[in-house]
Amino acid sequence: MKTKQYVIALDAGTTSCRAILFDKNRRFVAAESKEFKQIYPSAGYVEHDAEEIYRVQKETLLNLLSNREIAPSQIAAIGITNQRETTVIWDRHSQKPIYHAIVWQCRRTEHICRQFKQEGWEPYIHKHTGLVLDAYFSATKIKWILDTVPGARAQAKKGDLLFGTIDTWLLYKFTDGAVFATDHTNASRTMLYDICSLSWDENLLHAFDIPPSMLAQVKNSGDIYGDCNVRGTPIPIAALCGDQQASLLGQGCLAPGDAKNTYGTGCFILEHIGSKMQLSKNGLITTLAASTHNEIAYAMEGSVFIAGALIQWLRDEIGLLSSSTQSEEMAKKVEDTGGVYIVPAFAGLGAPYWDMSARGIITGITRGTNKNHLVRAALEAIAYQVNDVLISIEKDTQIPLTQLKVDGGACTNDFLMQFQSDISQITLVRPATVEVTALGAAVLAGFTVGFYDSIQNNSYSDASIKIFSPQMAPSQQKALFAGWHKAVAKARESN
């Protein structure tokens, strides 16, 4: 039998599934990736085919091994990281979903949230789950499926239906129905899990009319979940972890005050706040960080809905640029935005505003405004939104943030990174590998089976990082940021 040489992270994202191989030194070795269908049945509705996600994820795993002639026996463990909140309900006997997966972005359950707000559930939900009452999280999506699919609730009450986020669904399929479990990070995104008592909340289950038999066992993120049979060889699945918490860990943010931001379609800012639960007074949510050996840690989180997506919109719908990367050189062609601000409240504003009726605006346009100004204003808008969240985190934690670790597709944009550093007056640290989400899942799994000796990663060797330090005068920073808040006020009036 060959010795164990690698760990595999399965990264089940929102648009693609990836399988990534890491070696004993936690170095990236190879990856396979495949996209799957995005289903938009009507405005604001987003679905995935859960069976397709499993098929695609399995294909990337098998291709990763066969394309590099690696035997399953060389793999010490598999860690799964996943898009969070996305809701799958399936029949435990047939292993078939009864409806498409309802994706985290889907807004179809806003009316249920309004009803629960009217009934006064908001403070209870915040106190127990750490979340704000929003359609983003799984609870209202489960209720919607049970209310809508004929016969579903009766079937659920009989104990025939199971609910899972994508981690749970993949685990169930990869173990051929033998293991029905989730981890702390994913459970904390359902709006049904009490993050203080670490148990499913009976009052919420009752209020949403969700039978407890539908819910998975909650384990540590790093834990032996079960074996995945790969070409006759069992490989232990030894970690489940939501993607943002995996990236927090992959970035080495393991102590209170450590923070990271992922710049993708949206932005996800998480700060480790230690082992004591703390609620936000400034519009953020509290969530569970990755756990090992029953060591529980919390994180404060703020998300920006539209970040890289704003550049995508300027590219695909407005035609101002031909690639996202081009935004950097365009922004650098002008000294400033000439007073232009873009507030990309396409679907309302997230943290710290949580104003679902705000709509996008562009302000300060003059005859001298050109496309470079607009592109620059778009990149700056990403940084301003992130800064709003960083300020809320500082207010809540009372710890001045001095450093932010960055990852995600748009973090390769040096202009954006420098502007973020300037406007937030903090140091940004960018690792050489932006595969930190997969690394986080791999490290958790490898640590759990003893392949790695700690969860502290070493991806930040001095040679591999790029640091951005503030260069803007504080007076200029203040003036620019004040202009942003004026523009935000207009976006909030605009509907």
Residue 244 CB, shortest distance to ligand ADP, in Å, is 11
Beta strand 16-23 with 6-12 is antiparallel
Tell me phi and psi for residue 301, to 5 degrees: -135, 140
DSSP reduced 3-state for 256: coil
Residue 28 CB, shortest distance to ligand ADP, in Å, is 16
Instruction: Please choose, out of 210-218, 245-253, 319-327, 395-403, the segment that lies near ligand ADP by the rule CB under 6 A.
Output: 319-327
Q: Is 314 in the site for ligand ADP (CB under 6 A)?
A: no
Q: Is 242 in the site for ligand ADP (CB under 6 A)?
A: no
Smaller CB distance to ligand ADP: residue 238 or 386?
386
Instruction: Please choose, out of 9-17, 152-160, 227-235, 245-253, the segment that lies near ligand ADP by the rule CB under 6 A.
Output: 9-17
Smaller CB distance to ligand ADP: residue 89 or 382?
382
State the binding string over 262-281 for ligand ADP (x if CB under 6 A, else -). --xx----------------
Assigned token pair, 12: 């089940």
* 427, burial (CB in 10 Å: exposed 0-12, middle 13-18, buried 19+): middle
CA atoms of 482 and 489, how far apart (whole Å): 11
Q: Is 466 in the site for ligand ADP (CB under 6 A)?
A: no
* Total residues in contact with ligand ADP, by rule CB under 6 A: 18
Residue 410 CB, shortest distance to ligand ADP, in Å, is 4
Residue of minimal Cβ distance to ligand ADP? 409
CB 384 within 8 A of CB 481: yes
CA atoms of 171 and 240, how far apart (whole Å): 9
Smaller CB distance to ligand ADP: residue 183 or 407?
407
Q: Is 282 in the site for ligand ADP (CB under 6 A)?
A: no
CA atoms of 297 and 138, how far apart (whole Å): 22
- Output the DSSP codes for 209-248: T--GGGSPEEE-SEEEEEEEEETTEEEEEEEEEEHHHHHH
CB 9 within 8 A of CB 20: yes
Smaller CB distance to ligand ADP: residue 170 or 436?
436
- Number of CB atoms found within 10 A of residue 153's CB: 18
* 469, burial (CB in 10 Å: exposed 0-12, middle 13-18, buried 19+): exposed
CB 386 within 8 A of CB 420: yes
Smaller CB distance to ligand ADP: residue 175 or 459?
459
CA atoms of 345 and 213, how far apart (whole Å): 39
Smaller CB distance to ligand ADP: residue 15 or 278?
15
Q: Using CB under 6 A, which of 95, 312, 425, 427 touches ligand ADP?
A: 312
Q: Is 328 in the site for ligand ADP (CB under 6 A)?
A: yes
Q: Is 140 in the site for ligand ADP (CB under 6 A)?
A: no
List the interface residues with ligand ADP, window 220-239 (CB under 6 A): none
Q: Is 311 in the site for ligand ADP (CB under 6 A)?
A: yes
List the interface residues with ligand ADP, window 385-424 (CB under 6 A): 408-410, 412-413
Would you tell me which residues interact with ligand ADP (CB under 6 A)?
A: 13-15, 264-265, 308-309, 311-312, 324-325, 327-328, 408-410, 412-413
